[in-house]
Amino acid sequence: MVVCRVSYLEIQDLHTHFSQRGGSVFAPKRKIIRAVDGVSLELEKGEILGLVGESGCGKSTLSRTVMQLIAPTSGRIVLDGEVLADLSAREMRRRRLDFQMIFQDPYASLNPRMTVFSTLAEAVRQRHPRIRGAALEKRVVELMATVGLDATVMRKYPHEFSGGQRQRIAIARALAPEPKLIIADEPVSALDVSIQSQILNLLKKLQRDLALTMIFISHDLGVVHFVANRIAVMYQGKIIEFGEAGEVFHNPREDYTRKLVASIPRLAGAEE
């Protein structure tokens, strides 16, 4: 039986380079940093792609390039059949609602002067600008329930929550514009191990319940193996190994991938 894969996101020979000054003040030279160096990937609709590699390998630059926060040096990003670089500024604003990001540090990514209600309401109105009153509050309550938070705390501020609760708020905010693609950049690395497993299980549940397509980025191959359908291993700006999660984890081809497997810390509490 032939399995037909439907690509929702295509990354085609993507390069993101930066110019850095080097040398002495008398003979300055420019050094080219090849943060993303010829990456090609396809992400199926409804799957979680794990992107793993050590700090500095280029995975966060890749995610920000996909999000259009950094302009690529060359290559193409095709989202659901549309080449993002070909879109006008107005079309890009419309398209941005379809892909959202969850950051590593939930406290830094949340506005400390806004309550949970204001944060989520603002995000909901990106998709539904005319929603107000009881309908808006109902949607905020639904979002909080979706990520496992009690709606009675919606008038509180970020500093009044634990790290795990703040990450749930950040996830709810990412879900509020009703995106089709989520990029989660190290979303559990700043959390305690016991809280990590709760957030991982939540992300897997959301992916199943909402049919989300997700790129999950981490330096921890064990975490990526738990949450992802397929895994891409990144090293020095390149994808050096790619395949089904179980195959990459249990039968890695590359020495670098084997080192990542050997360095995995034990993760407590996660459920298969």
pLDDT band of 264, cuts 50, 70, 90 = confident
Tens-place pLDDT, residues 142-152: 999 999 999 99
The residue among 66, 58, 75 whose CA lies nearest residue 96 is 66
The count of other CB atoms within 10 Å of the CB of residue 175 is 22
Q: What's the pTM?
A: 0.89
Residue 2: per-residue pLDDT: 43
Looking at the DSSP assignment, which residues form a beta bridge with residue 187? none
Looking at CATH, the fold of the domain delimited by 1-23+30-98+180-264 is given as: Rossmann fold (3.40.50)
State yes or no: pLDDT of 268 exceeds 70: no
Tens-place pLDDT, residues 6-53: 689 999 999 999 987 766 665 566 788 999 999 999 999 999 999 999
The residue type at 265: P
Residue 129 CB burial class (10 angstroms; 0-12, 13-18, ≥19): exposed
Under DSSP, the state recorded for 264 is P
Query: What CA–CA distance (Å, rounded) separates 172 from 149?
Result: 10
Listed as own residue / partner, the contacts of 265-269 with beta carbons closer than 8 Å and 24 or more positions apart are 265/193, 265/220, 265/222, 267/193, 267/196, 267/197, 267/222, 267/223, 267/226, 268/193, 268/194, 268/197, 269/193, 269/194, 269/197, 269/198
CA 67 to chain centre: 9
CA distances from 38 to 4, 73, 142, 179 (A): 25, 10, 41, 27
Domain layout of the chain by residue ranges: 1-23+30-98+180-264, 114-178
Give the end-to-end CA distance of the chain in Å, rounded to a whole number. Answer: 27
Tens-place pLDDT, residues 122-149: 999 999 999 999 999 999 999 999 999 9
pLDDT band of 3, cuts 50, 70, 90 = very low
Q: Is 172 helix (H, G, I), strand (E, B) or coil?
A: helix
